[in-house]
Structure 1
Amino acid sequence: MARPGGRWLSGRHEWTERPLAISTGRVALPLARRGITVEGIEGSPLMLEQLRARAGGADIPVVLGDMADVAVDGPYDLAYLVFNTFFNLPDQDRQVDCFVNVGRVLAPGGRFVVEAFIQDLTEFDRNQRVTTRAIDEDSVSMEFLQHDPVAQAVTYQRVTFDAAGTTLRPLGLRYCWPSELDLMARLAGMRLRERWDFWDRTPVHRRQPSPRLGLRAGPGGYGRRMTEPTHLVTATMRQEPGEGLRHPQAYLFARKP
């Protein structure tokens, strides 16, 4: 999350916030340190263990479960899903479930913030792509992608070959178009309130370069690549040459009063 976005999310200290897929708390912990009541949902016991090990992490109530089920009662003033996590839900049905269940626990006028990229279809050749991510005299790291345009699904396999053998890191995403997210919100009794190109509320432009979202740990300097570990406090955009670029955007949906 960008620092301007962090200020925006934390601008109402009386809010109760529910991050879905709280992970290691890299957004939730800074908000909690500002005095905001934060509760979370996390599907991975290992991620939850890392959150508990961090300063203040043990103080945040977290439900272990599927973020699409939103197995909490509410009401909450704000729920959020950042870092493209919404696209980790495997199909359209589960993505709709997530919106509907968030709408169920939001207070009247409550808000649901989603950060997600716009998939760049030009990065595929015959619905596939092979990229060399890193290479030296001892190892090579590659990325293999297959695209299903009907299911709007991308299957990744990030592979490292070195003296120790072959390491596989699979990933699957089901992306959505902006209009599809808007429709899911309507099905959940919400409406689109704002759509930004970045957390500083930059307006969405049709013909600007597609930036890649990178992260940094504090003010100054340029963003690191997303593959690097980071203690998230702020974010910046950076284009990484040689990689298929996606367009991150922020969406703010509000429950109807």
Structure 2
Amino acid sequence: MFDDFLIRAALAGLGVALAAAPLGCFVVWRRMAFFGDATAHAAILGVALSLLLSTSIFAGVLVACLLMAALVSLLNGKGYAMDTLLGVMAHSALAFGLVAVSFVSGVRIDLTAYLFGDILGVGKSDLAVIWTGVALVLGLMGWRWSRLLIATLDADLARADGIDPERERWVLTLSLALVVAVALKVVGVLLIAALLIIPAATARPFSRTPETMVMLAGLLGATSTVGGLQVSFWLDTPTGPTIVSLASTLFAVFGLAAWSRQATRRARHSPPSAERYR
């Protein structure tokens, strides 16, 4: 079964979608979209350093993402707004990574595969790494779920309950770095943040509980991955961007449905106008 490259691609995409669902929900709830983008852009610097030092790309990306998160945390509140700081750090990491790649000699590098993903090139070893990372992220999220929720809702309430919000933020940071490292092969550096945010944002209007939002986000992410693979096969388009494009289409369709439902509900509960009795 694993000899079929489409089966390997589908399994890799499903794994990333499952890991991204709970983490993407926390990114949406905490409004960490720019933070996720900055962490993802640091991945290309990790790739360059891994190639320069002849080490594992997965390990290099993981270390680079964690260093980016630590640097942003240290510089936060030092006179710059968070969105400005994240914008500078994200694009600087991407630029330095692309420059560092140019110094790698003796290795043929396809930057497109790192920037936009190469899901069809996932091998058996890549699949093992991806699902190991997925298991770690899901295990970490399940272990810290209630603490993460309380720290997200109210930091003061978390402290009163004996929970350290800063520690929970680092748990999220570690999980985000793991997801970026395993998703690099699937959608690439430039589209990882989209795969995190779009399914969670799509699920939010239709979810009454956090658990429902996570499950719906996982279902939407899985649908986008498998459907994007199929559409890419039919239309001969780049697979990673096609997956994200399908996720964006679902966001638009579900958003229109949510808006229509809200408009209908408002119309039913609005008081009758005087024109109806004339």
TM-score (norm 2): 0.23
* Greater gyration radius: 2
- Which one scores higher on RCO, CA 8 angstroms, separation ≥ 6? 2
> Which of the two has greater strand per residue?
1
> Which of the two has greater helix per residue?
2
